[in-house]
Amino acid sequence: MLQFADLKTQGQALLEQYETLWGRLDSVESRERLNEIEAQLAKPGAWDKPELLTPVLREKSSLEFKLSMYAALRQSKIDVDDWLVLAQEDQSQDALEALAENLSALQNRLDETELSILLNGPDDNSPAILEIHPGAGGVDAQDWAEMLLRMYLRWAESRGFQVDELDRLYGDEAGIKSVTLQISGPYAYGLLKGEAGIHRLIRISPFDSSGRRHTAFASIDVYPDIDTNIEIEVREEDLRIDVFRASGPGGQHVNRTNSAIRITHLPSGIVVQCQNEKSQLKNKISAMKVLKARLYEREIKELEASKKADYATKDAIAFGSQIRTYTLQPYRLVKDHRSNWEDSGVDAVLDGRLDEFLRATLLCAHSARKTGNA
């Protein structure tokens, strides 16, 4: 049975947290900047070259999202204030349950807003390009890569994010050999960038007739989907473009024309491909988008080469290099080895419940930057 004294104590703690956080928010600056952008877009001729407005519109969308989040936080705080007064006067279970619900809503708003403060990188509000590749573990690793694909699709769906599959190579027996996704939504790249690394699965293999425990690995790469007007020099003479026939599972969904595209950037050795569209031109456009994103990320990594966590120098996709372990046998636990965040609800995590892991990773990275360890 709910007790008003307990809820009051919880409410006072949340209200103190709110006051501390509210003082750190840039609501006035964000509103002023949004007004500037709206005035800029209202000027005659502002839309003559809409392709140049992509970064401005993206900033506008980011500011609107931020201000709506601040407004929702403010309203949650007001609701808690009101229900604390009402519940003190009428301490019925209905009133206490309503107060408890509003306290939970305020806690969620506080967590969401606090997380947004950590997403202040120049590319954090960009869409994300996410790649999954199986590593050591044979068919188990390919199956594990497909499990991770499902996990990220479910996570994106839970947030209302748009997902476009740019490329997929199916495994010979099960799973996938690789997949490339474009995930669009508020702070998609900022939220997902910490997922880059090696993910390990420990389970009883469904592909082992002896029922033995196996370990499989898969790697996640995450890049910001940069604006098309950012200057990334890609010379035609530096590219080798191969055209081939797309493949599908079990001989199904195979194109009858050579529409799949593979682009090799000769100076860097980066290879990207796209085969999900029936149009060769659309596949080439998608492949070039991924190539530019990877070249952009490569430039950023070179500028930050002194950082210990430089993912460009990641270890082999095998033992000792994982950032997170998903254990299904002999016990059930998901553990992130950077933040030490753990969750015994393995099924829920694999079903897309990733927000606490994303939050813990961002907080860990933020703490490391403050102490100069990253």
Which tokens go with 122? 């120049």
d(C-alpha 9, C-alpha 94), whole Å? 19
What integer pLDDT is reported at residue 31 of this predicted model? 94
d(C-alpha 141, C-alpha 230), whole Å? 36
Does the pTM exceed 0.85?
no
For 227: left if phi > 0, alpha if psi spans -120 to 50, otherwise beta; the answer is: beta
What integer pLDDT is reported at residue 235 of this predicted model? 86
What integer pLDDT is reported at residue 62 of this predicted model? 83
3-state secondary structure of 202: strand
Strand partners, 219: 133, 198
3-state secondary structure of 318: coil
Residue 176 backbone dihedrals phi, psi, to 5 degrees:
-135, 150
Taking the alpha carbons of 307, 137, 133, 181 in that order, is the dihedral positive or negative? negative
Question: Which residue type occupies 28?
Answer: V
DSSP codes of every residue in 80-129: HHHHHHHHHH---HHHHHHHHHHHHHHHHHHHHHHHHHH--STTTTS-EE
Per-residue pLDDT of the chain (374 residues; tens, 9 = 90+): 889 999 999 999 999 999 999 998 989 999 999 999 999 999 999 898 887 787 888 889 888 988 999 999 999 999 999 999 999 998 899 999 999 999 999 999 998 898 888 888 888 888 999 999 999 778 999 999 999 999 999 999 999 999 999 999 999 889 999 999 999 998 899 999 999 999 999 999 999 888 889 999 999 999 998 765 556 778 888 999 998 877 665 444 445 567 889 999 998 899 999 988 888 888 988 888 888 888 888 877 776 554 334 334 444 565 557 999 999 999 999 999 999 999 999 999 999 999 999 999 998 887 777 666 54
What integer pLDDT is reported at residue 250 of this predicted model? 46
Distances (CA, A) of 190 to 9, 105, 162, 163, 351: 34, 24, 15, 16, 21
Q: Looking at residue 331, what DSSP letter applies?
A: S
Distances (CA, A) of 257 to 90, 243, 262, 284: 72, 10, 15, 15
What integer pLDDT is reported at residue 245 of this predicted model? 79
Q: For residues 150-163, b (16+ Cβ closer than 10 Å) or e, as one string?
A: ebbbebbeeeebeb
d(C-alpha 127, C-alpha 144), whole Å? 24
d(C-alpha 170, C-alpha 143), whole Å? 10
What integer pLDDT is reported at residue 122 of this predicted model? 80
What integer pLDDT is reported at residue 367 of this predicted model? 77
Closest CA to 255 of 265, 241, 245, 263: 245
Domains assigned to the chain: 4-118 (1.20.58.410), 128-225+319-371 (3.30.70.1660), 236-303 (3.30.160.20)
